[in-house]
Amino acid sequence: MKRIQECLAALLVTLLLPAACFAGAGNRAGTNGASELLIPIGARDIAMGGASASTSFGIEGLYWNPAAVAKSKYATAVYFSHMTYLADIGVNYGAISTTFEGFGTVALSLKSLSIGEIPVTTTTYPDGTGQTFTPQFFTLGLSYARELSDRVVVGLTTNLISERMGDVSASGLALNIGVLYDNLAAVEGLSLGVAVKNIGPQMRFDGSGLLVQASVAGQNRPAQFYQVEAASFELPSSIEFSLGYRRSLDGVNNVMLATAFQSNNFSDDEYRIGAEYSYQDLVFLRGGYNFAQRQSEERQYLFGPSFGVGVRTALGSLELSVDYAFRKVDVFDNNHVIGLRLGF
């Protein structure tokens, strides 16, 4: 039975591979929609450069690989994080997961952007009308993951995307599919992760903000309102392959190394490396670096090295983890991330 399950997981990976054909098809940077789907989550994984599709585990790994949530050592886990992102945008995230014996792990997550107020401008009042609006962007995710064997885990996340800017809005669905394979090639501690992200139908903006007043030439009637039909846009889908290696040096000191390649359908392909050192699984030091294979010298990859620390402690039957990450950013202010996890 175990052999059959592993063969099924291998088949699933094979079925995911064709997604690479469109994930890296051409380079159309800046033309996709729903870019908030690309904003990473989790202080631990950001500190490791995002090379986490094979090494992330538990509720923190939902963004990187939906299969990771099935590897949580807690029956129930709760996670919160906040990141200061580009251009003073705040990224808030919360998630909760529960494992049901014999069924699998179910998780619910919510990511929202805090953008602040933006002045309303028009062609008549280019300097502002005195009014403001607050964009509202959030992604609500429902995930399911299950261990097929002691080595193979699969997971699926369905994300509901909602975007509202003034009097226009758009909504859509995106799927993330992931596979984790531990002890690859019978090597203890070696793991493989594959994740296909943001697969779904095109989205389109609609609403009263697309009404314009105009007159029809040759018609003897006053100006009327007409609906402008906005163009639809694709989601920023991608496929990621990751290898990770965990090793205990002496039962007290532990190290983890990870690397990843991500092919994107709207931007340059990315390469990531990361490392983590832990002492008795209580204190953690992390570092990472990612870069892009630029197709044009005119484009600039903003993100550089990242670093982080973490601590874990037990409070009776409750376990508390606090993590911090710093990520170097060009042009904009650097990113700061703090995450809090409760497990019981």
Highest mean pLDDT among 92-96, 123-127, 327-331: 92-96
| Mean of pLDDT over the chain | 88
Q: Is the pLDDT of residue 18 over 50?
A: no
Domain 2-197+237-343 sits in CATH at: 2.40.160.40
Residue 32 φ/ψ, nearest 5 degrees: -85, 170
- Answer yes or no: is pLDDT of 27 > 60: no
Q: What is the pLDDT of residues 165-204, one digit of tens each?
A: 988 999 999 999 999 999 998 899 999 999 999 999 999 9
**Residue 35, φ and ψ in degrees, nearest 5:** -65, -15
pLDDT tier at 144, thresholds 50, 70, 90 = very high
C-beta pairs of 318-321 under 8 Å, 24+ apart in sequence: 318/342, 318/343, 318/344, 319/74, 319/343, 319/344
Residue 20's pLDDT is what? 43
Residue 226's identity, in one-letter code, is Y
Domain ranges of the chain: 2-197+237-343
Residue 22 confidence (pLDDT): 46
Average pLDDT estimate for 79-99: 96
- Torsions phi, psi for 209 (to 5 deg): -70, -10
Better-scored residue on pLDDT, 222 or 162:
162
Q: Mean pLDDT across the stretch 296-307?
A: 83
Q: Is 51 within 8 Å of 273 (Cβ atoms)?
A: yes
Q: Is the pLDDT of residue 277 over 50?
A: yes
Q: How far is CA 56 from CA 22, 71, 244, 257, 328, in A?
A: 26, 9, 9, 11, 21
Give the residue-averaged pLDDT of 65-85: 95
Residue 53 in this model has a pLDDT that exceeds 80: yes
pLDDT of residue 226: 77
CB 250 within 8 A of CB 218: no
* pLDDT at site 125: 86
pLDDT digits (tens, 9 = 90+) for 251-273: 899 999 999 999 998 888 999 99
Query: Given pLDDT bands bounded at 50, 70 and 90, which one contains residue 124?
Result: confident
Residue 296 has pLDDT above 70, yes or no: no
Q: What is the pLDDT of residue 211?
A: 83
Per-residue model confidence (pLDDT) at position 11: 45
Tell me what percent of the residues of the chain surpass a pLDDT of 90: 67
Q: Which two tokens mark 109?
A: 């997550």
Mean pLDDT, range 102-108, rounded to an integer: 96
